[in-house]
A and B are shown apart, each in its own frame.
Chain A
Amino acid sequence: MSAPRNATTPSGWYGSGARRRTVTMDDAQRMSNSAWVTSSRLMSGLILYTGLGWLISRWVGHQALLMAIGAMVGLGLSYYLVFTSLAQETRAAQQRNDDARPDRTGTTMRGTEEPGVS
């Protein structure tokens, strides 16, 4: 007896939609890059703007105040950068996922649908 035409490998959660949300090699590569980039962005935001605050405070006075403000601004900018680039990446990954997924409507023959897919 041969397997149904659109049978998938029996591994994973058989019949659930979970296995369709696959992480491709490309996604993994992008993720590994952004994971490492995040830490260096947080660090450099703090260093740069704390340093800038310190330099301005040496020029103006108010040593501690401007340095603290600089640190907060720097951390805020780092977080902003991290979150916007991660959002960008998620959107791009979603887009790729949608493009890659085969259009199933109308092509599935009666009786060969996978069990459990609603």
Chain B
Amino acid sequence: MSADVVVASGGLDCHLLSGCGFPAPGAEIFQFDAVFTFTIGSLQFNISKVTILLFLCVFLILGFFIYAFRRPKLVPRGAQNVGEMGYLFIRDGISRDIIGKDGDRFVPYLMSFFFLVWLSNFMGILPFAQIPVTSIFAIPVAFALIVYVTWVPLGVYSQGFGGYFKGMLFPPGVPKAMYVLLTPLEFLSNLIVRPATHAIRLFANMFAGHLLIATFSIAAFYLISASVIGILGSAASFTVAVALTGFEALIQFLQAYIFTLLTAVYISGALHQEH
């Protein structure tokens, strides 16, 4: 149990029979004080644990792939093997399936997103880190915005301004009069709901998963007391917390995969004329 959870659970001597009530975790477990601050011009930067973890993820990924491909050999060994597996997973499993052959130039982009999101999610179950970086809403929003400012100009670039927005806003096969009702709907669906759900899907999954693990960890700690219910309940909560941690590991991978998959779907829609 991390120090944050102990602090959040109302102190070290808050247990079932001490009459302090169950200290349920809330949104405050996602708020971290700044470790240090600095100012550039009029902008103040608050560097908290989450910021540090995000940078750590970036440097770990950079470091690993630079190390893996520093002297590439025809027959890969060791780290290069792992790096190539990751590359081929994104290229064949996502890019070629969704975008097609012309998606190969987007593989580095998709791969950066996949590994960054996965490692950021993984920080949720890494001992001592224990906060999924992507459960802070600003971070998935930033990721989704980067994707958004990629596929909209890409669509305009590859299909032309008129052609792209005509294909997006005027679905074929409906009577002309219906466009009055359907075009605003398509506009909202494609240009606002799409990027919003892209960010919210990742954020909400990570937020909820972390909250669940925290709740059961705190319950395991809170229920420790000299009573049958306390011992059984604490053991059960601890078991559930461990099982949920394993489950979270799966969800973290899945959410990173879905985030990358959706990025590929959006890029594919921008590249290829539909209908």
Q: How far is the CA of A28 from the CA of B98 in the complex (A)?
A: 8
**Could you say which of B178, B181, B188, B261 contacts A47, with CB atoms under 8 Å apart?**
B188
Tell me the A residues contacting B by CB distance below 8 Å: 25-26, 28-30, 32-33, 36-37, 39-41, 43-45, 47-49, 74, 77-78, 80-81, 84-85, 87-88, 92
Q: State whether B193 touches A47 (Cβ < 8 A).
A: yes
Q: State whether A36 touches B182 (Cβ < 8 A).
A: no
Please name all residues of chain A whose beta carbon is closer than 8 Å to the beta carbon of B186 when the two chains form the complex.
41, 44, 81
Restricting to B181-229, which residues have a CB under 8 Å from any CB of A? 181-182, 184-186, 188-190, 192-194, 197
Q: Is B97 an interface residue (CB 8 A)?
A: yes
Interface secondary structure of A, over-half rule: helix
Query: Interface stretch among B42-50, B166-174, B244-252?
Result: B166-174
Q: How many pairs of residues, A versus B, come closer than 8 Å at their CB atoms?
A: 74
Q: State whether A25 touches B197 (Cβ < 8 A).
A: no
Please name all residues of chain B whose beta carbon is closer than 8 Å to the beta carbon of A37 when the two chains form the complex.
189
Q: State whether A40 touches B184 (Cβ < 8 A).
A: no
Q: Name the CB-closest residue of A to B175.
A: A84
Q: State whether B97 touches A25 (Cβ < 8 A).
A: yes
Q: State whether A36 touches B262 (Cβ < 8 A).
A: yes
Q: How large is the interface on B (under 10, 10 to 19, 20 to 34, 35 or more residues)?
A: 20 to 34
Q: Name the CB-closest residue of B to A51.
A: B188
Please name all residues of chain A whose beta carbon is closer than 8 Å to the beta carbon of B172 when the two chains form the complex.
85, 88
Q: State whether B265 touches A43 (Cβ < 8 A).
A: no
Please name all residues of chain B whose beta carbon is closer than 8 Å to the beta carbon of A26 when the two chains form the complex.
100
Q: State whether A48 touches B268 (Cβ < 8 A).
A: no
CB distance from B158 to the nearest CB of A (A): 15
Q: State whether A48 touches B171 (Cβ < 8 A).
A: no
Q: How far is the CA of A30 from the CA of B186 in the complex (A)?
A: 18
With A33-B265, A81-B185 as known contacts, state yes or no: A44 contacts B193, CB within 8 Å.
Answer: yes
Q: Known A-B contacts: A36-B262, A40-B197, A80-B182. Give 18 more (CB < 8 A).
A: A25-B100, A28-B97, A29-B100, A40-B189, A43-B189, A43-B197, A47-B193, A49-B185, A74-B185, A77-B181, A81-B174, A81-B182, A81-B186, A84-B171, A84-B173, A85-B172, A88-B173, A92-B275
CB distance from B268 to the nearest CB of A (A): 6
Q: Is B99 an interface residue (CB 8 A)?
A: yes
Restricting to B142-189, which residues have a CB under 8 Å from any CB of A? 171-174, 178, 181-182, 184-186, 188-189
